[in-house]
Amino acid sequence: MYLGQEFHILGDWFIIHFTENYGMAFGMEFGGEKGKLLLSLFRLFFVGGLIYYVYQLTRKKYDKLYVAVLSLIIAGAIGNLIDSAFYGMIFGGSEYQLAEVFPAEGGYSSFLHGRVVDMLYFPVLEGTFPNWLPIWGGEEFIFFRPIFNVADSAISIGVFMWIIFQKRFMSMEEELKNEEASGKSEIPSEDTQAS
């Protein structure tokens, strides 16, 4: 597909719309080329840290829902990181033309500087704000305007579930700490074993 090309899947409310973003989820950006590199490196360390954390949780047989929530966030971050790391090296530019795979002159960008592909667009509701409404009165609106990808969805669903079940997760964390503390106090010390 070329940049901006779209296919209507279910009328006008579900559209495959090819676009690329330079930064974070839903097209947000972060400080040009240096910001892009920092964001990519942050994602890399964040994903590595989260994978290690989830590994530790699974060894402790922690709440499976919490592990699933964190796994959604990890999966989404990895998806966007893969796009950011390799997409620019594999494809040529897609402005006004179809993107070429492995062009002879090389991709449009270097390692960790690629753009993230977004394609899911759900403009479910379109209209105009009433004139009496402060600030936005008379302006047109589209709900849901952002174009996103499956990775963005995984991150958003994971964060949303983490917020909803936060109380459950925090109480389980307390229980785990209490169990570990009581388990340590039941282990006899070397002095007690010697006597």
Active-site choice (12, 83, 152, 191) = 152
Active-site choice (12, 83, 118, 191) = 118
- Using H for helix, E for strand and C for coil, what is the string for 137-194? CCCEEEECCCEECHHHHHHHHHHHHHHHCHHHHHHHHHHHHHHHHHHHHHCCCHHHHH
Q: Specify the DSSP class assigned to residue 99.
A: P
Q: CA 23 to CA 178: how far, in whole Å?
A: 41
| Residue 63 known to be catalytic | no
Q: CA 44 to CA 113: how far, in whole Å?
A: 13
Start-to-end C-alpha separation, the chain: 78
Q: Quick check: 146 and 76 in contact, CB under 8 A?
A: no
Q: Quick check: 106 and 87 in contact, CB under 8 A?
A: no
Q: Which amino acid would we find at residue 51?
A: I
| Residue 12 known to be catalytic | no
Catalytic residues: 118, 152
